């Protein structure tokens, strides 16, 4: 369900109105086989057909005077939108082709400034364009932070303009982040899709790939490309106009939708974080190529050994394999068996070795979870081989290729709203997903020469948030007294002294029983936080469901507010359709407002209805009568598994389609607590990044943020400043947490020459 109602705006012709008049849909562009010339001609005709009615709104700027005049208008208005066109997605290596600008004006003129268009015939830069130097001089006034800059996916355009034009723009409003905050369940968060959905009503907006497939924008002739490019800034601005009223806490639209807290998150967390993210992406992190070569040799040797181990085990089954192949001449088995082939592995396990099926949904499955349940040395060996193969292929072999050719550093892409909870994600490469247990891989990332890496890690960030949000006084007091919360929970749950639930004794020796009790309490608390069911918790604890339930019951008895928090979170989602974090971010879970089952006629009408009776006043779809719904509902409340399936078949025969929502509801229930805790942790970490990234003293000390890893911030600074940077990093992170936490926070800092390298005393 859309969050907003789309208002009509009389007296103003929108792009949607123009598109509606044109009523055109581009055909697929020619394939590479037609040649670049044929493709360009095809693109020319398509663009003119789709955007030909917009010449009166689009202006091509090809002189400094024209650009200065438009920038002067921007400065007068105090607001503008900008969008860039490039030769690729790397703001450092790829070139800017041009950029579009829009500021409100009576004629709705939006402009495009070509910079590096190239002749598709001569491959040389064409005339009548502005140079990077000319653009830099003309748009320099836009660096003034008092002029509001509107973008969509701001960090990319900020970096392109910074790296290619030397202009440092500060984004005031990012339409992408606004869309994510206003409705994180949007099926598409692309600019044109959002614009068409909320401001459209006519023909669909056309994405770049639909018009310019396989052709870089620099090869598109200026007099054709500007019609497409100039509109991007205008669409960005129109979307901003629509979104902004929902993110203005004083606006009636915002108040009516109950979005005041969401507005606070947007202006105080998400938007200030944008420039910090852009800086991190531009800085990148140093990579040790020599060390990686050493790892490559080591791990490829290990990989060969693991592979040989699998084949050694396979030799034990060779007689059975030979016998099978003798009787199945058309068998797909190779010699030796291909360990990477699910088909061959399934034949070996289920047809030759007659392994009992362990998963009804995947009866011949060979995935990781299934192999882990099969008690065979071969399966364990294959899992070991697969794990190592993935490690080598994803990191050791691939990572050097990810380094930027200009500075030899790794510059990944950070998505600051990567998860629906607001949590960061990263890609190209994913530096947040590098295995923490394998320190070898992380050690390939090092400090810049003359620098140390400095990391700050929130101690028990999510458990602290859980204690704060549930308000259990016993849990809160444990933190005030500086106790280990997991040991404190274990002490009450198992009725043992606190000291007997710690992992280590006072003399430093390991307390085996205490470690087990603490581990059980930790597993249970995290299980509740992550929305795990009792089956999953039992699996994590390596015990029966009955024992896991007993432990959970004892924890809830000792900490009643924890159980109340779990229930209250579900009730909040059921009543409101969303849950909130401490800072006010919303996670919408509309599935919790669904009924367990929906009932519809298969053909839209009862089986005995005359579908050929074209009565204009007849309803287009008939509701299933309440008595039929109640009958099936009553049966389904007591049914599971096979019995449930038979009820569905019975209803189907009667012409009733039963839509089972129970799995959707269960999934949403599991997310209730997790969304509040993980989302709150994201809020806290982003506030810390903002404080650290903008701290005057940290800048004076030369500190640079490099990577956020959920509850950890990793940066670097000159070696001489490491001690002060380390302490100030911890102080700023604690300051960010104290905006909502009433209990003490703790941040552990480490100084080293490489990630997970030997700790250095400073």
- 57-75 residue pLDDT tens: 999 999 999 999 999 999 9
Exposure pattern of 484-512 as b/e (b: 16+ CB <10 Å)?
bbbbbbbbbbbeeebebbbbeeeeeeebe
The structure tokens 């792009």 sit at 15
**How far apart are alpha carbons 558 and 375 in whole angstroms?**
39
The structure tokens 């009548």 sit at 128
Query: pLDDT at position 705, please?
Result: 98
Q: Is the pLDDT of residue 16 over 60?
A: no
Name the strand (E) or helix (H) holding 19: helix 15-22
> 265: closest CA among 184, 181, 185?
181
SS (H, E, C) 376-419: CHHHHHHHHHHHHHHHHHHHHCCHHHHECCCCCEECCEEECCCC
Query: pLDDT at position 89, please?
Result: 93
**How far apart are alpha carbons 322 and 335 in whole angstroms?**
10
DSSP 118: B
The structure tokens 């069911």 sit at 533
**How far apart are alpha carbons 592 and 579 in whole angstroms?**
11
| CB neighbourhood size of 696 (10 A) | 7
Q: Which residues pair with 623 in a beta bridge?
A: 600
Mutual angle of helices 473-480 and 485-493, in 10-degree steps: 130
CATH class given for the domain over 15-247: alpha beta
**How far apart are alpha carbons 171 and 177 in whole angstroms?**
11
Reduced to 3 states (helix: H, G, I; strand: E, B; else coil), residue 621 is coil
Query: pLDDT at position 207, please?
Result: 65
Question: Looking at the whole model, is its pTM more than 0.75?
Answer: yes
Work out the mean pLDDT of the chain and round it to a whole number.
Answer: 90
Contact 509, 501 (CB under 8 A): no
Topology of the domain comprising 289-401:
Taq DNA Polymerase; Chain T, domain 4 (1.20.1060)
| 257-281 confidence digits (pLDDT tens) | 999 999 999 999 999 999 999 999 9
| 384-421 confidence digits (pLDDT tens) | 999 999 999 999 999 999 999 999 999 999 999 999 99
**How far apart are alpha carbons 753 and 452 in whole angstroms?**
5
| 342-367 confidence digits (pLDDT tens) | 999 999 999 999 999 888 888 899 99
Residue length of the chain: 762
Range with the poorest average pLDDT among 40-44, 355-359, 377-381: 40-44
Query: pLDDT at position 23, please?
Result: 37
Q: Where are the domains of the chain?
A: 15-247, 289-401, 473-558, 595-660
């Amino acid at each position: 369900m859309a969050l907003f109602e789309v208002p009509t705006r009389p007296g103003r012709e929108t792009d949607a109105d123009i598109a509606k008049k044109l009523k055109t849909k581009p055909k697929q562009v020619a394939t590479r086989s037609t040649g670049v010339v044929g493709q360009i001609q095809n693109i020319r005709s398509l663009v003119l057909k789709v955007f030909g009615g917009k010449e009166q709104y689009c202006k091509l700027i090809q002189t400094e005077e024209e650009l200065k005049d438009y920038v002067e208008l921007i400065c007068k208005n105090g607001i503008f939108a900008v969008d860039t066109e490039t030769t690729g997605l790397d703001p450092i290596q790829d070139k800017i082709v041009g950029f579009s600008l829009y500021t409100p004006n009576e004629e709705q003129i939006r402009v495009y400034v070509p910079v590096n268009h190239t002749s598709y015939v001569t491959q040389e830069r064409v005339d009548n364009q502005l140079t990077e130097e000319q653009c830099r001089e003309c748009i320099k006034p836009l660096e003034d932070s008092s002029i509001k800059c509107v973008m969509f996916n701001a960090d990319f355009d900020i970096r392109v303009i910074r790296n290619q034009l030397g202009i440092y723009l500060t984004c005031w409003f990012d339409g992408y982040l606004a869309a994510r905050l206003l409705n994180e369940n949007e099926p598409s968060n692309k600019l044109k899709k959002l614009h068409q959905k909320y401001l459209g009503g006519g023909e669909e907006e056309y994405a770049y790939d639909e018009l310019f497939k396989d052709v870089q924008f620099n090869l598109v002739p200026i007099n054709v490309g500007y019609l497409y490019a100039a509109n991007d800034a205008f669409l960005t601005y129109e979307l901003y106009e629509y979104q902004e009223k929902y993110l203005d806490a004083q606006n009636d639209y915002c108040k009516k939708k109950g979005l005041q807290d969401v507005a606070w998150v947007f202006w105080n967390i998400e938007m200030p974080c944008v420039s910090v993210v852009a800086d991190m992406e531009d800085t990148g992190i140093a990579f040790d190529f020599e060390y990686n070569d050493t790892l490559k040799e080591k791990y490829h040797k290990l990989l060969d050994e693991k592979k040989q181990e699998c084949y050694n085990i396979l030799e034990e089954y060779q007689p059975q394999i030979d016998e099978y192949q003798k009787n199945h001449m058309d068998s797909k088995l190779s010699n030796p068996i291909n360990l990477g082939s699910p088909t061959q592995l399934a034949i070996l396990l289920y047809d030759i070795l007659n392994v009992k099926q362990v998963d009804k949904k995947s009866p011949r499955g060979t995935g990781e979870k299934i192999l882990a349940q099969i008690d065979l040395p071969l399966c364990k060996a294959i899992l070991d081989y697969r794990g190592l193969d993935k490690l080598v292929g994803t990191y050791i072999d691939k990572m050097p290729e990810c380094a930027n050719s200009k500075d030899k550093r790794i510059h990944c892409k950070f998505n600051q709203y990567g998860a629906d909870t607001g949590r960061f994600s990263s890609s190209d490469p994913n530096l947040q997903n590098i295995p923490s247990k394998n320190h070898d891989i992380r050690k390939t990332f090092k400090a810049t020469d003359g620098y140390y890496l400095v990391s700050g890690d929130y101690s028990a960030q999510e458990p602290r948030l859980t204690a704060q949000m549930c308000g259990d006084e016993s849990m809160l007091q444990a933190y005030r007294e500086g106790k280990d919360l997991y040991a404190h929970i274990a002490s009450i749950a198992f009725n043992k002294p606190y000291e007997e639930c710690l992992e280590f004794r006072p003399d430093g020796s390991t307390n085996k029983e205490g470690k087990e009790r603490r581990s059980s309490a930790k597993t249970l608390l995290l299980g509740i936080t992550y929305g795990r069911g009792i089956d999953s918790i039992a699996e994590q604890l390596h015990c029966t469901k009955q024992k896991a339930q007993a432990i959970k019951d004892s924890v809830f008895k000792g900490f009643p507010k924890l159980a109340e928090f779990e229930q209250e979170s579900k009730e909040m989602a059921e009543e409101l359709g969303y849950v909130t974090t401490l800072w006010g971010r919303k996670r919408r879970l509309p599935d919790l407002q669904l009924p367990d089952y929906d009932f519809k006629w298969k053909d839209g009408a009862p089986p005995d209805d005359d579908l050929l009776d074209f009565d204009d006043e007849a309803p287009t779809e008939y509701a299933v009568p309440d008595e039929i719904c109640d009958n099936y509902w009553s049966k389904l409340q007591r049914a599971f598994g096979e019995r449930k399936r038979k009820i569905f078949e019975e209803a189907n025969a009667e012409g009733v389609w039963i839509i089972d929502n129970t799995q959707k509801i269960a999934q949403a229930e599991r997310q209730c607590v997790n969304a509040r805790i993980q989302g709150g942790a994201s809020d806290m970490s982003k506030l810390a990044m903002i404080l650290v990234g903008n701290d005057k003293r940290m800048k004076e000390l030369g500190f640079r943020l490099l990577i956020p890893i959920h509850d950890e911030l990793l940066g670097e600074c000159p070696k001489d400043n490491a001690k002060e940077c380390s302490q100030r990093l911890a102080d700023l992170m604690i300051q960010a947490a104290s905006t909502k936490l009433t209990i003490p926070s703790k941040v552990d800092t480490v100084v080293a020459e490489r990630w997970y390298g030997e700790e250095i005393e400073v």
